[in-house]
Amino acid sequence: MGYKGRPSPETSDMSRTPRRLLCLTAAVAALAPAWALAQVPTPDTVLALPRDLSPWGMFLNADIVVKLVMVGLLFASVVSWTIWLAKSVELVAARARMRRAIRALADARSLTDVSAAQADGAAALVAAAETELSLSADAPAADGIKERVASRLERLEAAAARRMIRGTGILASIGATAPFVGLFGTVWGIMNSFIGISKAHTTNLAVVAPGIAEALLATALGLVAAIPAVVMYNLLSRWTAGYRAQHADASAAVLRLVSRDLDRGAMPNAARRAAAE
């Protein structure tokens, strides 16, 4: 009898549910103005709006000095690739001609056996040897003739090496200076970014990031121009050294033919004609 007036557990839970819903609704209503205020654009939020950070967008938004640095580095990169293509074709063709000339000189028994077509890569060497033999047709000492021929061949070898390395110094200059030029553009761009921070009176990262990204693009372009230029210069230097070694082999082959002709007492056609005159 005494338990009839006390509510059951199920009835108590059902009576608390509306009160909980009421409290939750009141809390949401209290937080709604604060949430709405957070959605209102503030100066910092406006500054945080994303900018075009693609390479082209960063170039367009960069300072004029940074733009000039970037254009100069791109031009240097184009020059590097142009020199690389031209010198590569020239060196590959010259080395192929020299290989054929060395085989022809190695198979010849006399300097007169080497035709102009066979000595295409070493035609200047053969012509220099014949010229010296012609000028020395009346000289009695064979050793002096061989020394003078060797001197002419050495000069031709040095001239060929200078001709092959012509233009590669630009690659070395680009490889050495491009990183520093890019660094100058980066320093200039970061200075402008700090000036922009000072004028905006804010330290928001969205204000700093685009300017620094634009500045760092100059350093990236400097490395893009410098690294291939250094690699190209090293490869061309190695190929030029190989061509010079081939030229030295051809010179030695020509000198052997001259010595062989002198020991036999046989003079090339040009020298024989000069002696007859």
Q: How far is residue 3 from each of residues 6, 13, 14, measured CA to CA in Å?
A: 6, 18, 19
The predicted-structure confidence for 176-221, as pLDDT tens digits, reads as follows 999 999 999 888 888 887 777 777 676 666 666 777 778 888 889 9
Separation CA 40–CA 249 (nearest Å): 82
Separation CA 188–CA 101 (nearest Å): 56
Domain map of the chain by residue range?
9-40, 53-276
pLDDT of 235 strictly over 90: yes
pLDDT of 228 strictly over 90: yes
Question: 63 with 69: CB under 8 angstroms?
Answer: no
Question: 224 with 77: CB under 8 angstroms?
Answer: yes
CA dihedral sign of residues 116, 110, 267, 140: positive
Report if pTM > 0.75: no
Question: 72 with 188: CB under 8 angstroms?
Answer: no
Percent of the chain with pLDDT over 70: 69
Q: What is the pLDDT of residue 141?
A: 62
Of 132, 173, 168, which Cα lies nearest the Cα of 150? 132
Q: What is the pLDDT of residue 58?
A: 72
The predicted-structure confidence for 38-92, as pLDDT tens digits, reads as follows 444 444 444 444 456 676 767 677 778 888 998 999 999 999 999 999 999 999 9
The predicted-structure confidence for 249-275, as pLDDT tens digits, reads as follows 998 988 888 888 887 775 554 444 444
Q: How far is residue 58 from each of residues 9, 53, 149, 210, measured CA to CA in Å?
A: 69, 6, 63, 8
Of 98, 104, 136, 99, which Cα lies nearest the Cα of 257? 104
Joined together, the tokens standing for residue 214 give: 């634009």
Count of residues for the chain? Answer: 277
Q: What is the pLDDT of residue 143?
A: 67
Q: How far is residue 56 from each of residues 18, 71, 154, 217, 229, measured CA to CA in Å?
A: 60, 12, 53, 10, 23
The predicted-structure confidence for 8-36, as pLDDT tens digits, reads as follows 544 444 455 455 544 544 544 444 444 33
Of 233, 235, 231, 225, which Cα lies nearest the Cα of 171? 233
Q: What is the pLDDT of residue 192?
A: 81
**112 Cβ contact partners less than 8 Å away, ≥ 6 residues apart:** 261, 266, 268, 269
Q: What is the pLDDT of residue 273?
A: 46
Q: What is the pLDDT of residue 113?
A: 77
Joined together, the tokens standing for residue 229 give: 């230029």
The predicted-structure confidence for 126-185, as pLDDT tens digits, reads as follows 888 888 888 877 766 666 788 888 888 999 888 888 888 888 899 999 999 999 999 998
Q: What is the pLDDT of residue 45?
A: 41
CA angle 251–257–262, rounded 5-degree value: 125
Q: What is the pLDDT of residue 272?
A: 45
